[in-house]
């Protein structure tokens, strides 16, 4: 079998000793296979055991390829590895699932598999020469990677030129990644670039949970053949530190409002868009049906919209369009000197106001009448006399949580946010929650550092997060993201507290208000 290398002495010895046994029969037990140039990637896939690793050496390999009914398998490129389409081969189309009527065909198709990792692979479409292939019709779902009923991680990859019959054609076809499932599966796309595609860079159907981080998406720019979308999803989704650009629909006879960078089409799903940039797009964010999308930072040059039943909440970020209708109740809206809209959370707004006082030449000006959607909700702060203040100037003895605040302060479980300031009405973050519970437990030394990339070793909550993670009290959104600055609801903190006390928490139902520091003091005192 040219192109295969066995990576263990045991396997090699067994093959030599059992020369009468066919390679294929024995290779089914292989946990590690290396594919060299001119080797068969598909044969390696067929012969890899569950839990095994396929290493593909530098070179170009013609597919299509299919991973079917495999578990815990990695396929990793070593150097510059390209998967392309062989114009002489037939696509292996997949019967439609989840009630959809169209088949699926990918340069790489992953079907009915669990925990599959694709790493450091360049997938190039370039199938113009294969336009006569019978499986590629206007109704087919042609993709760089087709994911069907599978849990998949795509990491450090490139997906380029997923086009059919030239660069563009007015059809629902040509996707960087197309994922569909009959069950609630998960798709993770990390540090992956997707360039030049007919319709969408990434699309998930049904209840698939999508997580994207560090990805860059680039469309064809202004064109009038088809409206392109960047990331379209229907299940719970987190998109962080990604960019989407060059999606413009300029046809004279428009059949759509334009191209959309981030498109929530789900019902009753929740998504978080964090530190994302859109550039050269018609719509930056669109929310349909009854989906909910929360924006936490980023730069957005397109329009924003939430259709009937959809919910769009902006906590922070920079926007070209007026976003006052979508402000989080605790966020503030200002305008910069160029007339762009800047949304700040509480801490950002406090810093902005301080800097504004220090400098007469501030780069921001308040947007009259739209400074904050919480203006009508502001409550008059109680007057605090020196005799009443205790250790904190902002906490009166009339505060219902006064005794609790003093108690947790004296025990060292909670401290102020600054000298003499407790901020009883301030919202609790995930980093704060972990720290409070860690303090309450006596600050035990964690065994290991946390696995989260957004928790630096010098952060005040670093040891607390590591400990809370080890104890199963506060987990991350995924294996690498904790979200230390994200707010915690009263229900979420109650669950964390129950876990830290060794009791079984009640089922989380969501929809609770954000936990305040004063309320938390009352809970743990």
Find tokens 């159907």 and name the residue: 205
CA distances from 204 to 105, 186, 249, 313, 320 (A): 15, 10, 22, 22, 28
Residue with tokens 């860079």: 201
Same domain for 365 and 489?
no
Distances (CA, A) of 3 to 21, 61, 317: 19, 12, 51
pTM: 0.65
The residue-averaged pLDDT of 7-14 equals 39
pLDDT of amino acid 83: 95
What was the pLDDT predicted at 41? 96
| 483-496 residue pLDDT tens | 887 778 888 888 88
Pair 349, 272 in one domain = yes
Whether 435 and 476 map to the same domain: the answer is: yes
Asked if the structure places residue 387 within a domain, the reply is no
pLDDT score of 384 more than 80: no
In the listed set 377, 394, 417, which residue is the last one of a domain according to the structure? 377
Q: Is the dihedral of CA 371, 374, 379, 384 positive or negative?
A: negative
Q: Same structural domain for residues 372 and 228?
A: yes
Nearest-Å Rg of the Cα atoms of the chain is 27
Tell me: do 223 and 344 sit in the same domain. Answer: yes
pLDDT, tens only, 445-465:
999 888 888 888 878 889 999
Give the least confident one: 32-46, 83-97, 244-258, 287-301: 83-97
Residue the block writes with tokens 């503030």: 332
Is residue 248 assigned to a domain?
yes
In tens, the pLDDT along 495-521 reads 888 888 887 776 554 456 778 888 898
d(CA 457, CA 207): 35
Pick from 148, 72, 155, 139: nearest CA to 111: 148
Same domain? 406 vs 510: yes
Interacting residues of 17 by C-beta distance below 8 A, sequence separation 6+: none
3-state secondary structure 112-161: CCEEEEEECCEEECCCHHHCCCCCCCCCCEEEEEEEECCCEEEECCEEEE
Helices (H) and strands (E) in the chain, counts: 9, 29
Close Cβ partners of 360 (under 8 Å, ≥ 6 residues apart)? none
- Residue 255, pLDDT > 80, answer no
| pLDDT for the residue 378 | 38
Mean pLDDT, all residues of the chain? 80
Residue 56 vs residues 39, 270, 283, 402, 467: alpha-carbon distances, Å: 9, 37, 39, 64, 39
Inform me whether the pLDDT recorded for 103 exceeds 80: no
Question: Which domain covers residue 332, as residue numbers?
Answer: 214-377
Q: Which of 369, 372, 379 is nearest to 352 (CA)?
A: 372
Instruction: State the pairing for strand pair 341-344/311-319.
Output: antiparallel
Given pLDDT bands bounded at 50, 70 and 90, which one contains residue 136? low
Has residue 4 been placed in a domain?
Answer: no
* Length of the chain (residues): 525
- Whether 83 maps to a domain, the answer reads no
Query: Domain check: are 314 and 435 in the same one?
Result: no
Confidence of residue 388 (pLDDT cuts 50, 70, 90): very low
CA–CA distance, 493 with 141 (Å, rounded to integer)? 44
One domain for residues 479 and 355: no
Left (φ > 0), alpha (ψ -120 to 50) or beta: where does 21 sit? beta
Based on the fold, state whether residues 330 and 445 are members of the same structural domain.
Answer: no
Residues 6+ away with beta carbon under 8 Å from 30: 6, 11, 47, 48, 49, 52
Residue 96's pLDDT is: 62
Please give the full DSSP string across 389-420, using - where no structure is assigned: -TT-TT--TTSTTHHHHHHHHHTTS---SBTT
Give a yes or no: residue 327 inside a domain: yes
Domain shared by 407 and 371, yes or no: no
Q: Within this chain, do residues 229 and 372 fall inside the same structural domain, yes or no? A: yes
Tokens of 149: 């009923």
Among 323, 343, 377, the domain boundary falls at 377
What the block records as the tokens of 512 is 């609770």
CB 390 within 8 A of CB 407: no
Residue 102: inside a domain: no
- Top pLDDT among 314 and 224 is at 314
501: helix, strand or coil: coil
Q: Count up the domains in the chain and report the number.
A: 2
Q: Is 250 helix (H, G, I), strand (E, B) or coil?
A: coil
E strands, 337-485, are 341-344, 364-366
6 located within any domain = no
User: Do 371 and 408 belong to one domain?
Assistant: no
Confidence (pLDDT) at 339: 80
pLDDT of residue 453: 83
Encoded tokens for 254: 């428009």
Q: Point out the least confidently predicted range of 74-83, 126-135, 273-282, 407-416.
A: 126-135
Q: Is there a domain that residue 199 lies in?
A: no
State both tokens at 498.
């129950």
């Amino acid at each position: 079998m040219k192109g295969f290398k066995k990576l263990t002495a045991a396997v090699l010895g067994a093959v030599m000793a059992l020369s009468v046994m066919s390679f294929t029969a024995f290779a089914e037990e292989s946990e590690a296979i290396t594919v060299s140039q001119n080797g068969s990637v598909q044969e390696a896939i067929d012969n890899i055991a569950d839990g095994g690793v396929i290493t593909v050496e530098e070179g170009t390999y013609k597919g299509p390829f299919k991973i079917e009914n495999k578990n815990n398998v990695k396929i990793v490129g070593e150097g510059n590895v390209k998967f392309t389409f062989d114009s002489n081969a037939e696509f292996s189309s997949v019967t439609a699932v989840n009630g959809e009527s169209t088949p699926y065909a990918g340069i790489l198709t992953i079907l009915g598999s669990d925990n599959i990792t694709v790493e450091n692979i360049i997938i190039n479409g370039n199938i113009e020469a294969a336009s006569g292939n019978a499986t590629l019709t206007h109704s087919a779902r042609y993709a760089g990677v087709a994911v069907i009923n599978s849990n998949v991680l795509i990491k450090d990859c490139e997906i380029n030129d997923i086009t059919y019959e030239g660069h563009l054609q007015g059809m629902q076809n040509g996707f960087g990644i197309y994922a569909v499932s009959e069950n609630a599966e998960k798709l993770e796309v990390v540090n992956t670039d997707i360039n030049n595609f007919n319709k969408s860079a990434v699309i998930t159907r049904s209840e698939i949970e999508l997580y994207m981080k560090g990805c860059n998406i680039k469309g064809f720019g202004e064109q009038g053949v088809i409206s392109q979308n960047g990331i379209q999803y229907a299940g719970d989704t987190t998109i962080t530190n990604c960019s989407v650009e060059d999606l413009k629909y300029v046809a004279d006879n428009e059949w759509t409002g334009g191209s959309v960078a981030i498109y929530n089409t789900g019902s009753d799903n929740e998504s978080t868009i964090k530190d994302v940039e859109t550039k050269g797009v018609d719509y930056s964010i669109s929310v349909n049906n009854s989906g909910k999308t929360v924006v936490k930072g980023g730069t957005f040059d397109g329009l924003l919209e939430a259709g009937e039943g959809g919910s769009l909440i902006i906590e922070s970020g920079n926007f070209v369009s007026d976003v006052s209708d979508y402000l989080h109740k605790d966020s503030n809206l200002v305008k910069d000197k160029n007339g762009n809209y800047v949304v700040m959370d509480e801490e950002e707004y406090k810093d902005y106001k301080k800097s504004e006082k220090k400098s007469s030449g501030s780069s921001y000006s308040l947007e009259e009448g739209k400074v904050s959607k919480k203006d009508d909700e502001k409550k008059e702060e109680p007057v605090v006399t020196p005799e009443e203040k205790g250790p904190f100037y902002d906490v009166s003895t009339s505060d219902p949580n006064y005794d609790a605040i003093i108690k947790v302060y004296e025990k060292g479980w909670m401290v102020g946010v600054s000298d003499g300031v407790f901020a009883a009405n301030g919202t609790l973050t995930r980093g704060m929650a972990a720290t409070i519970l860690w303090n309450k437990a006596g600050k035990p030394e964690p065994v290991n550092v946390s696995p989260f990339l957004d928790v630096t070793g010098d952060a005040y909550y670093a040891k607390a997060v590591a400990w809370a993670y080890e104890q199963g009290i506060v987990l991350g959104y995924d294996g690498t993201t904790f979200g230390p600055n994200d707010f915690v609801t009263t229900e979420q903190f109650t669950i964390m507290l129950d876990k830290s006390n060794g009791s079984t928490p009640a089922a989380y139902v969501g929809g609770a208000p954000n936990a305040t520091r004063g309320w938390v003091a009352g809970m743990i005192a």
